[in-house]
């Protein structure tokens, strides 16, 4: 069960968190330098964890990291449950695609 973020994504986020490039320090605290940008977080999970209190950590981590550098994050698209019920894979993916189309209109 994967409750956190993948190590390569964590390494990427650690790499882009660079003072003077993606954020700066000010007397009021850090300020993101990537304002005016948007991101969609598409998050796949084999089970159902997005609504499980205390079980899903990666969405808040990714959103927090992006917001820290000034990027506006639109609602996360969760693609979850394929490992739980592989017979519903097509239905789950189709629903995620439809949600992505709706979210993409805000870009």
CB-count burial class (<10 Å; 0-12, 13-18, 19+) for 51: exposed
Tens digit of each residue's pLDDT (9 = 90 or more) over 28-65: 999 999 999 999 989 888 888 777 766 677 888 999 99
Residue for token pair 């992505």:
100
> Could you tell me what percent of the chain has a pLDDT over 70?
93
**pLDDT higher than 80, residue 3:** no
Q: Which residues contact 19 (CB under 8 A, 6 or more apart)?
A: 25
Tens digit of each residue's pLDDT (9 = 90 or more) over 20-35: 999 999 999 999 999 9
Task: Establish if 68 belongs to a structural domain.
Answer: yes
Task: Establish if 92 belongs to a structural domain.
Answer: yes
Whether residue 80 contacts residue 86, with contact meaning beta carbons closer than 8 Å, is answered with no
Angstrom distances, CA of residue 80 to CA of 2, 105, 107: 12, 22, 24
Q: How confident is the prediction for the chain on average, in pLDDT?
A: 89
Which whole number is the average pLDDT over 59-80? 92
Of the candidates 77, 78, 9, 84, the one whose C-alpha atom is nearest the C-alpha of residue 46 is 84
Task: Establish if 1 belongs to a structural domain.
Answer: no
Number of folded domains that form the chain: 1
Secondary element (H or E) of residue 23: strand 23-26
Domain that holds residue 41: 7-104
CATH number for the domain including 65? 3.40.50.360
Task: Establish if 21 belongs to a structural domain.
Answer: yes
């Amino acid at each position: 069960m994967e409750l956190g973020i993948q190590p390569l994504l964590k390494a990427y986020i650690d790499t882009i968190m660079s003072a003077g490039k993606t954020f700066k320090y000010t007397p009021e605290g850090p300020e993101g330098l990537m304002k005016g940008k948007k991101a969609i977080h598409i998050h796949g999970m084999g089970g159902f964890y997005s609504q499980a209190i205390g079980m899903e950590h990666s969405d808040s981590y990714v959103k927090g990291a992006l917001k820290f550098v000034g990027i506006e994050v639109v609602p996360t698209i969760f693609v979850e449950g394929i490992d739980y019920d592989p017979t519903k894979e097509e239905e789950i993916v189709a629903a995620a695609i439809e949600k992505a189309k709706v979210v993409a209109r805000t870009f």
